[in-house]
Chain A
Amino acid sequence: MPEMTLIDAVRMAMDEELARDPNVIIIGEDVGVRGGVFRATMGLHEKYGSDRVIDSPLAEASIVGVGIGAALYGMRPICEIQFADFIHPAFNQIINEAAKMYYRSNGDWTVPMVIRTPYGGGIGGGLYHSQSLEAFFTHTPGLKVVVPSTPYDAKGLLKSAVRDPNPVMFFEPKKGYRLIKGEVPDEEYLVPLGKANVTREGTDVSVFAYGMMHYYTMQAAEKLAQEGISAEVIDLRTLYPVDRDAILASVEKTGKALVVYEDNLTGGYGAEIAALIGEHAFTSLDAPVRRLAGPDVPAVPFSHPMQDWFMLNPEKIAAAIRDLAGF
């Protein structure tokens, strides 16, 4: 099995889906000749042509809105928003249109489309190339929200997302694009949406994470094992609809829960996981549910010391797990 980076796996998924289904198209800024600013679509324009890998005008609402229209006519658009921070002009189209279309038309119209977008900080991107925006979308019935944390999952989840009849938000951890490597089979496989993955078995603390924070959490858990602390790590993978059974089963086993997310603490996605555990696994808990997240400032600052202050890392996560384990 070849080892590859996360972004290579993303590209491989799109390549395979473009080859499999002639209705799959890619729409986005610089996705064509340039192959994307992160090179996620590198080579695809050359291979599939400008009718299927479409350089859009620089207008995000139109990337999503035109994608919706194309989907309504039978296409399977993969829309790329260059940075998650630029998705806000398209918010209306995502929340009011894509997410509500099936319900509001009583099942007459479906919007099978994927909106891919790189998210997250730690890359010197400042306020507007670093945001984690999943919580806006996990609040929206009608959308599915997916965040891969490994190359294997990136490929398998993206292929599932392309084939899903509903609109899927696909947040890719940009810091992990080339940092995270892993084995990816050449052959066809899918990773189902809606299923979490226990990526490390443990007995003392359950740690729930996704995307880049899952990668860091695995490093933290490895370090803590040497100290005799056994952390169970659950990669949520699909944030909405979330795999409640997997979350509750782990908490029932360990009695302690920590949710790690890169976004601002307040109103972030981890709050929902904490509430879920509080409501449904209260009697299994030996300690308060804890959240470890970014500070409540508007976004990630540019200058390195300030960025490092904002960002979580394996050491901060290890400290939080250690603290909870000792409760």
Chain B
Amino acid sequence: MDISNDLLIEMYRFMLLARRTDERAWVLHRQGKIAFHISGIGQEAAQVGAAFAIQRGTDWVSPYYRDLALMLALGLTPLEFMLSVMGKQGEPSSGARQMPSHWGLRRANVLSHSAPVATQSLHASGIGLAIKFKGDKKVVFTTIGEGSTSQGEWYEAVNWAAVHKLPVIFMVENNSYAISVPQDKQMAVPSSADKACGLGLPGISVDGTDLIAVYQAMSDAVTRARSGEGATVIEALAYRLTPHSSDDDDRSYRSREEVETHKKEDPLPKTEELLLSKKIITRKQLDEMEIKIKAEVDQAVADATAAPYPTLETAMGPVYAAEVSNA
């Protein structure tokens, strides 16, 4: 598959933007400036590779909480993310009602999702059903962690998509842990993609730290979906390089050696090395990119810090709609 150099650089830029934004959130938490952060570090290649395989802003997305890189690639700004971790007015997913990283971005066709896992998978199939009904040429992309594929709602969603040949791509971001529980306590199959075969649709496992591999697997699945051939399950294998959240201490369930081993597969340096070795980008360009991103994140933190909290009227409603606001 031909991927232009410009596209690779753009994808890498979003990976780096996500990494620096994510790292800053950890710092803000350790400084006592924000109450909570849940990280996507280690999963940036999977998320950005997938984002660029769909028509961003046109296709529909039903994400899960680790998808910071995906969301930035879909148009969420670092400022909007900082507003969300600080619970400030202007936070676009929920008006700061939801905890951070509970995404939703109306302008980019990104659904609002909740904390109970796998609920979003069924919404993706419902949208797929409506897209097919209306004869639109759009696809739905939905993500989930491997632990959450244990939920009945995930099976039900994939089953619907398989029965009705819906234009949905179910990407399992397999980062090896569901908080403290490793994959072998979640499933007896070696790959969450294997679950697809029992439901009658293709399941593909791909190295989720390999940006190009993810982009290619996703592009194939998007083509299948858009041409009416139905849904695909894609497992993107990665490793959660951070604790589950800012409230977790992963030293209680996995060794430092294990984490250090997986840092060798960190998608950020891996992708950087690819771009340098193929002379797609120069060290100087990378340095400039880094400086720009740091300035962008600095500005986002400053602006979010200065932003007001929501008024209490925001807590009171709206609860009921007077008219349908979407679609």
Contact = CB atoms under 8 A, between A and B. Distances in A.
Contacts of A74: 130, 134, 324, 326-327
Contacts of B160: 56-57, 62, 66
Contact of A108 (B123, B163, B326): B326
A45 B161 CA distance: 21
A75 B128 CA distance: 12
A70 B126 CA distance: 4
Interface stretch (A94-102, A153-161, A253-261, A283-291): A94-102
Interface in B208-266: none
Given A108-B106, A166-B321, A25 B133 contact: yes
A65 B93 contact: no
B119 to A, nearest CB: 5
A70 B324 contact: no
B123 A72 contact: yes
A107 interface: yes
A92 B119 contact: yes
Which among A69, A100, A141 has the highest number of chain B CB atoms within 10 Å?
A: A69
A167 to B, nearest CB: 10
Contact of B122 (A51, A66, A102, A107): A66
A276 interface: no
Interface string A52-68: 00101101011011111
B156 to A, nearest CB: 4
Interface string A25-48: 100000000000000000000000
A72 B322 contact: no
B123 A69 contact: yes
A57 B157 CA distance: 10
Contact of B319 (A68, A92, A102): A102
A226 interface: no
A110 B321 contact: yes
B147 interface: no
Interface string B78-120: 0000000000000001110110001010100001101010010
A165 interface: yes
A5 interface: no
Interface string B168-196: 00000000000000000000000000000
A166 B326 CA distance: 12
A93 interface: yes
B122 A68 contact: yes
A71 B106 CA distance: 14
A73 B153 contact: no
A109 B324 CA distance: 8
Contacts of A96: 114, 116, 119
Given A59-B156, A69-B130, A75-B130, A110 B123 contact: no
A104 interface: yes
B104 A105 contact: yes
Given A62-B156, A104-B97, A105-B94, A73 B325 contact: no
Contacts of A165: 321-325
B317 interface: yes
A142 interface: yes
B98 A109 contact: no
B45 interface: no
B32 interface: no
B141 to A, nearest CB: 13
A303 interface: no
Given A105-B104, A106-B94, A65 B153 contact: yes
A66 B126 contact: yes
Contacts of A97: 114, 119, 123
A103 interface: yes
A268 interface: no
Contacts of A67: 126
Nearest to A52: B133
A69 B122 contact: yes
Sorted from nearest, which 4 A-B pairs have the closest CB atoms?
A: A69-B126, A65-B122, A74-B327, A106-B95
Interface of A: 25, 51, 54, 56-57, 59, 61-62, 64-75, 89, 92-93, 96-97, 100-110, 112, 141-142, 144, 165-166
Given A57-B156, A64-B122, A73-B127, 17 more contacts: A61-B152, A62-B153, A65-B122, A69-B62, A69-B126, A73-B130, A73-B131, A74-B327, A93-B119, A97-B114, A103-B317, A105-B93, A105-B94, A107-B318, A109-B112, A165-B321, A165-B324
